[in-house]
A and B are shown apart, each in its own frame.
Chain A
Amino acid sequence: MTEEPAPPRKPASKRARKTAPPPVAPPLFEGAEWTFDMLGRVHDAIGEVAVGEMGLDVYPCQIEIITSEQMLDAYASIGMPLFYRHWSFGKRFAIEQTRYKRGQQSLAYELVINSDPCICYCMEENSATMQTLVLAHAAFGHNHFFKNNYLFKQWTRADAMLDYLDFARRYVADCEERHGIDAVEATLDAAHALMNQGVDRTPKARRATSPKELSAREAARHAEAEAQYDDLWRTLPVKAPAPPDDPEGAKEAVALGLPEENILYFLEKNAPKLADWQRELIRIVRHLAQYFHPQRQTKVMNEGCATFVHYEVLHRMHDKGQLTDGALLEALHSHSSVVAQPGFDHPWYRGLNPYALGYAMMRDIKRICETPDPEDLDWFPDIAGRGDALAVLRDAWADYRDESFIGQFLSPRLMREMRLFSVVDAAEAKAVEVTAIHDEDGYRRVRRALARQYDASAQDPEIEVVEARLSGNRHLVVEHRVRDGRRLAPDTAQDVLERLAFLWGYRVKLREVSAEDGAVIAEHEAIAPAA
């Protein structure tokens, strides 16, 4: 199919298939049953297409067959194969299980983990066709994306992740044994509450440590503490603290590297009262937050890439005769329900479907490369009519995230097809106002609004540590920069603040400051619970 001259979409490809030589390869399977042998053959056949023909670059893949219960398990621990123990995962499991049992939700067919080797869970209930679809989607689509996208390359270390999780699990279990479940739980609870404030959004020069070093460091700390222990120290009189020579705390702020957006990092390094093991727990939570951060920023692209890949791969396999007509139809049925996008007034509407948007954009880029309209030539002079759509897509998958990808590649034609329009919702207004629709005047505004909608740093509240005193009253001040008048939800803010105060150990203030004029809009405060 790659050799054929780029056909205008549907009618021509039908013709092409009719005139194509009869299938040379026998179908890989018939019927719904699958076997381990067959999965291996299917994997290799997909590999031929995806890597050989489409030029994807993937981690070696580890396929794991699991039951529905194990899938629920995986859901509960954010998809990770091993995870430390915490009640919130038990809660999530119970919620998912209730929904599943009531039939409110069906389980995903697969789950894939950004690791090297790339772990891909397939449910045992899947039919042979679905396993094929799932392998093409996850083991090649997502896998390629994980391996090549710059965010993942920059922020996650796929080869070390499983080791790190293993370390985290053992470390938490160890802490529970040594310091009690309650103490560990309190620390983890507090750290979880600040998880979204535990990511670096821009690269910083911070040394990474390997899991081995981590446990070695911890062991050394412990041994040191034991070696140094002498009951005599206890009897020494406590020296009166030196008077602070830095009354404004200005020097201190510089030394602490304020302002700091990564609150967990700040606490781990500077919170005065934390024990070493608590710092390490915070560090674990922070690392996990950082690990998941790229996935939050690339939801549309990641799913779009995987969906595009499975669609393309399955069609090519069908063309070769490796898939029967029945299998292709079954796969397409599932495919079309995954990429369905109900309109805003439809009872099933639950916001924009990342699969639908992502897949539509990938198809659209392919169209622009192969059969551009005059409009496309205006909008996308670089890629329109370039021909090699896969090369363009591979570059896009590597170098963009959702926000920049949409800002760059959402075409007027797709906006018209999806009938996208942007609205402004102001809290005090009685009506929402349509600001732009899919017309000549509106394309750019709709595109900008949509890109912003997928910008994690624009959607998360912008919160920073701005002031911290390690002497004197030792208070900590965090600031929320209020943009467009959007304030924090007060009750959860107070709850989180209390957890923050628990970690900091002293009084904590949260100021909501207008980003436009710097005026203080509101203040919250929490005091650390008495130890």
Chain B
Amino acid sequence: MNIIDRRLNPKSRSLGNRQRFIRRAKSEIREAVNDAIKNRAVTSIDGKEPIRARIKGVKEPVFGLAPDTGEREFVVPGNKNFRAGDRIPKPPKGGAGGQGQEGSPDGEGQDDFVFTLTRDEFLDIFFEDLALPDMLKRKLKQEKSDKPMRAGYATEGPPAKLSYARTMRNSLARRVALRRPTEAEIAALEEERVEAEAAGDAERVRAAEAEIARLKRRRVLTPYLDPIDLRYRRFETLPQPSTQAVMFCLMDASASMTEPLKDLAKRFFMLLYLFLTREYEAVEVVFIRHTTTAREVDEETFFRGVDTGGTVVSTALEKMREIVTARYPVDEWNIYAAQASDGHDFSDDLGVSCDLLRGLLPICQHYAYVEVSSPHMMGASMESALWGAYKTVAEEASNFAMRRISAPDEILPVFRRLFARAREAA
């Protein structure tokens, strides 16, 4: 008998099977993910609430006898008052003679069940085949963090880093090479001596004793473990390029940005945030809202607060430039910006905005502009003032992308296209 504690075994034994299953049921799972994006409340979009996919398509057919053909005899327990020859009317459909219930109570058969995705799996599928453009800085990064990496073995080091396997391997090699006598050899000689003593052969006894003394001396001279055997695991600290990003959310907060429009914008920002957190260790978010003036605000105010006034886009861009200069040195941070607006701007301001934007683009990894509008305002011919102005910038810069959104279900496709395009350009 043998008792083994398996509780500490690696947990993810079925992970490989799970991944294969997700591969198999991909189309259905992807559908569920897309539905979730379309229909869920803004706050639950980040995948913290599990995504459930109803899986139908993965069948495991086997040859089986059809229940509704032929005749079969079977035995059931619990007879109360039936006699041979009695006839029991069948229930309208399904099992006969009380032969259990077909299917489980909530109608989930073997091939149709609810599958729950983890957050990571959700995000994987969600952002499948999207890539962040220009993920690493073009300029050399400041080395921010050091990470220890294995770098072979050293002859010196702290005891905690002693490599037993290496050390003993050296020790063994040295002992073999120097012919260090083993305990067994000495024991054999001792026996020989005892034997010789018993036989009264003084010559042999002396020879054995001399040999024993020689071997023992040799054992002392070639120690079991010599300092030259010792090997220590060596670590070198390698500088890690910092992978941190800051994301600027710029939004027009003037009265023309209605609540539904803000909601659209928020969903877009949320997606971008999720996307960035997957690629970078640390992501900071800066919220800037503007009317005729711009200010940095917290998230709540950003989305919920109400301001009144006109719209001067350039103030927000100016504010962003200030913040970058003050807090986010360009050589340490990956800078992303997303601007949402309904496209209104004072016509005087358009030129200023474009110039500011041209100034910002070189320091940004990517700059996305989304124009949100109500569905009835969407018209192919209707171009907003800001859209027209930004279009000229878009033609010059590869890391600037612009799109329009008018309904929640357009967000994901737009998001995909934004990053797909940027990738192609890169």
Collect the chain A residues with CB atoms within 8 Å of residue B83's CB.
434, 437
Q: Within residues 353 to 369 of chain B, which ones have a CB less than 8 A from any CB in chain A? A: none
Asked if B87 lies at the interface with its beta carbon under 8 angstroms from chain A, I say yes
- Contacts A60-B1, A349-B98, A425-B96 hold; do A434 and B14 have CB atoms under 8 A apart? no
- Interface contact B6-A420, CB-CB below 8 Å: no
CB pair B76 A93 closer than 8 Å: no
Residues of A within 8 A of B1 (CB): 40, 43-44, 47, 60-63
Tell me the minimal C-beta distance from A456 to chain B in angstroms: 13
- Residues from 465 to 488 in A contacting B, C-beta threshold 8 Å: 480, 482-488
Q: Which of chain A's residues 375-428 have a Cβ closer than 8 Å to chain B?
A: 418-427
User: Total contacts A to B, CB within 8 angstroms?
Assistant: 261
Asked whether A227 is an interface residue with its Cβ less than 8 Å from the other chain, the reply is no
Tell me the count of chain A residues lying within 8 A, CB to CB, of chain B: 99
Which of A427, A446, A482 has most chain B Cβ within 10 Å?
A427
A258 is an interface residue with CB less than 8 A from chain B = no
- Would you call B72 and A424 a contact (CB within 8 A)? yes
Can you list, as one digit per residue, whether each of B1-43 has a CB less than 8 Å from chain A (1) or not (0)? 1111111010101101111111111000000000000000000
Asked if B90 and A431 make an inter-chain contact with CB atoms under 8 angstroms apart, the answer reads yes
Contact A453 B74 (CB under 8 A): yes
A residues adjacent to B (C-beta < 8 A): 36, 39-40, 43-44, 47, 60-67, 69-70, 72-73, 76-77, 85-91, 93-95, 98, 104, 117, 121, 124, 181, 185, 189, 192-197, 341-346, 349-352, 418-427, 429-439, 441-442, 446, 449-450, 452-453, 461, 463, 480, 482-490, 492-493, 495-496, 499
Tell me the B62-88 residues at the A interface (CB within 8 Å).
62-80, 82-88
Other contacts beyond A419-B80, A423-B96: 8, CB < 8 A:
A88-B60, A90-B21, A91-B21, A95-B110, A181-B20, A196-B63, A430-B90, A437-B79
A431-B89, A484-B72 known; A39 and B23 CB under 8 Å?
A: no
Cβ contact within 8 Å between B73 and A492: no
Q: Let me know if B61 and A433 touch, CB within 8 A.
A: no
Q: Given A44-B1, A449-B73, do A87 and B20 touch, yes or no (CB 8 Å)?
A: yes
Central interface residue in B5, B69, B86, B89, by most chain A CB within 10 Å: B69
Total B residues in contact with A, Cβ cutoff 8 Å: 65
- How far is B99's CA from A88's CA once the two chains are assembled, in angstroms? 28
The interface residues of chain A lying within 8 Å CB-to-CB of B21 are 87-88, 90-91, 94
5 nearest A-B pairs in the assembled complex, by CB-CB distance = A343-B78, A485-B70, A90-B21, A486-B70, A90-B17
B74 lies within 8 A of A449 (CB): yes
A-B contact pairs, 27 of them (CB 8 A): A43-B3, A62-B1, A62-B4, A64-B6, A65-B4, A65-B5, A73-B14, A76-B14, A196-B62, A344-B79, A418-B77, A420-B77, A421-B76, A422-B76, A424-B71, A424-B73, A425-B73, A425-B96, A427-B68, A437-B82, A437-B84, A438-B79, A461-B63, A484-B72, A486-B66, A489-B67, A496-B63
Whether the Cβ atoms of B85 and A85 lie closer than 8 Å is no
Q: Kindly report which residue of chain A lies nearest to residue B96, judged by CB atoms.
A: A425
B311 CB, nearest partner CB in chain A, Å: 51
CB A110 to nearest CB in B, in angstroms, measures 13
Given A420-B79, A432-B96, A482-B70, A492–B17 Cβ distance below 8 Å?
Answer: no
Q: Residue on A with the closest CB to B64?
A: A489
A410 to B234, CA, bound (A): 73
Q: Is the CB of A93 within 8 A of B5?
A: no
- Is A346 in contact with B90, judged by CB distance below 8 angstroms? no
Q: What residue in chain B is nearest A102 (Cβ atoms)?
A: B106
Beta-carbon contact of B89 and A435 below 8 Å: no
Q: Are B78 and A344 in contact, with the CB atoms below 8 A?
A: yes
Bound together, the chains give a CA A486 to CA B90 distance in angstroms of 18
B351 to chain A, nearest CB (A): 56
**A488 interface neighbour in B11, B20, B64, Cβ under 8 Å:** B64
Main secondary structure of the interface of A (DSSP, over half): mixed
Shortest CB–CB separation between residue B2 and chain A, in angstroms? 5
B64/A461 in contact, CB under 8 A: yes
Choose from A352, A424, A492 the contact partner of B63 (Cβ within 8 Å).
A492
With a cutoff of 8 Å between Cβ atoms, the chain A residues found around residue B14 in the complex are 72-73, 76-77, 89-90, 93
Interface status of B97 (Cβ within 8 A of chain A): yes
Q: Is the CB of B75 within 8 A of A421?
A: yes
Chain A residues within an 8 Å CB radius of B11: 69-70
Name, among B4, B17, B71, B74, the residue most crowded by chain A CB atoms within 10 Å (CB to CB).
B17
Asked if A344 and B77 sit within 8 Å, CB to CB, the answer is: yes
- A40-B1, A70-B13, A196-B62 known; A432+B97 contact, CB < 8 A: yes
Report which of B60, B88, B114 forms a contact with A193, defined as CB distance below 8 A. Answer: B60
Are the CB atoms of B88 and A432 closer together than 8 Å?
yes
Decide if B139 is an interface residue (CB 8 Å cutoff).
Answer: no
**Residue of B77, B88, B113 with highest tally of chain A CB at under 10 A:** B77
A348: shortest Cβ distance to chain B, in Å? 10
Answer yes or no: B59 CB below 8 A from chain A CBs. Answer: yes
Q: How far is the CA of A486 from the CA of B4 in the complex (A)?
A: 49
Query: Could you tell me the distance in whole angstroms from the C-beta of A29 to the nearest C-beta in chain B?
Result: 15
The verdict on A493 contacting B63 (CB below 8 Å), with A61-B1, A430-B90, A433-B86 known, is yes
Query: Residues of A contacting B61 with CB < 8 Å?
Result: 193, 492, 495-496, 499
B20 touches A90 (CB 8 A): yes
Closest CB in chain A relative to B379 CB, distance in Å: 46
Whether B2 contacts A62 by the Cβ 8 Å rule is: yes
The answer, yes or no, to whether B100 is at the interface (CB within 8 Å) is: yes
* Interchain CA distance A464-B17 in the complex, whole Å: 32
User: A496 near B62 (CB under 8 angstroms)?
Assistant: yes
Interface check B346, CB cutoff 8 A: no
Residue of A nearest to B21 (CB): A90
Most buried by B among A195, A438, A450, A492: A492
Interface pair B78/A423, CB less than 8 Å apart: no
Contact among B9, B17, B84, B89 for A76, CB-based, below 8 A:
B17
Contact status A197-B63, CB under 8 Å: yes
**How far does the Cβ of B111 sit from chain A's closest Cβ, in whole Å?**
9
Residues of A close to B194: CB separation below 8 A? none
Query: In the bound complex, how far is the Cα of B65 from the Cα of A486, in angstroms?
Result: 6
Chain B residues contacting A44 (CB-CB under 8 Å) are 1
Instruction: Tell me the nearest residue of chain B to A482, going by C-beta.
Output: B70
**A345 and B89 in contact, given A463-B63, A493-B63 (Cβ under 8 angstroms):** no
Q: Give the residues from 148 to 205 in chain B that come closer than 8 angstroms, CB to CB, to chain A.
A: none
Residues of B within 8 A of A40 (CB): 1, 3
B237 at the interface (CB under 8 A from A): no
Question: Of A95, A124, A423, which one neighbours B74 at CB under 8 angstroms?
Answer: A423
Task: Determine if B58 is an interface residue (Cβ-Cβ < 8 Å).
Answer: yes
**A435 and B63 alpha carbons, distance in the complex (Å):** 29
Chain B residues contacting A480 (CB-CB under 8 Å) are 63
Shortest CB distance A379–B (Å): 18
Query: What residues of B have a CB within 8 angstroms of the CB of A343 in the complex?
Result: 77-80
For residue A406, which residue of chain B has the nearest CB?
B75
Instruction: Tell me which residues across on chain B come within 8 A of A66, comparing CB atoms.
Output: 6-7
| Partner of A423 from B24, B67, B97, B113 at Cβ < 8 Å | B97
- By a CB distance below 8 angstroms, the chain B residues around A85 are 16-17, 20
CA distance A70 to B70 in the complex (A): 43
Complex Cα gap A341–B74 (Å): 16
Q: Would you call B6 and A70 a contact (CB within 8 A)? A: yes
B392 on interface, CB distance cutoff 8 Å: no
| Min C-beta distance of B206 to chain A, whole Å | 54
Q: Does B104 contact A (CB under 8 A)?
A: yes
Is B115 located at the chain interface by the 8 A CB criterion? yes
Residue of A nearest to B17 (CB): A90
B4 close to A352 (CB less than 8 A): no
How far does the Cβ of B103 sit from chain A's closest Cβ, in whole Å?
12
Contact A423 B73 (CB under 8 A): yes
Residues in B whose Cβ lies below 8 Å from that of A341:
77-78
The answer to whether A487 and B63 have CB atoms under 8 Å apart is: no
- Cα–Cα, bound, A341→B13 (Å): 36
Q: Which of B9, B85, B99, B113 contacts A351 (CB 8 A)?
A: B99
Distance in angstroms between the alpha carbons of A193 and B133 in the assembled complex: 46
Q: List chain A residues, Cβ under 8 A from B87.
A: 431-434
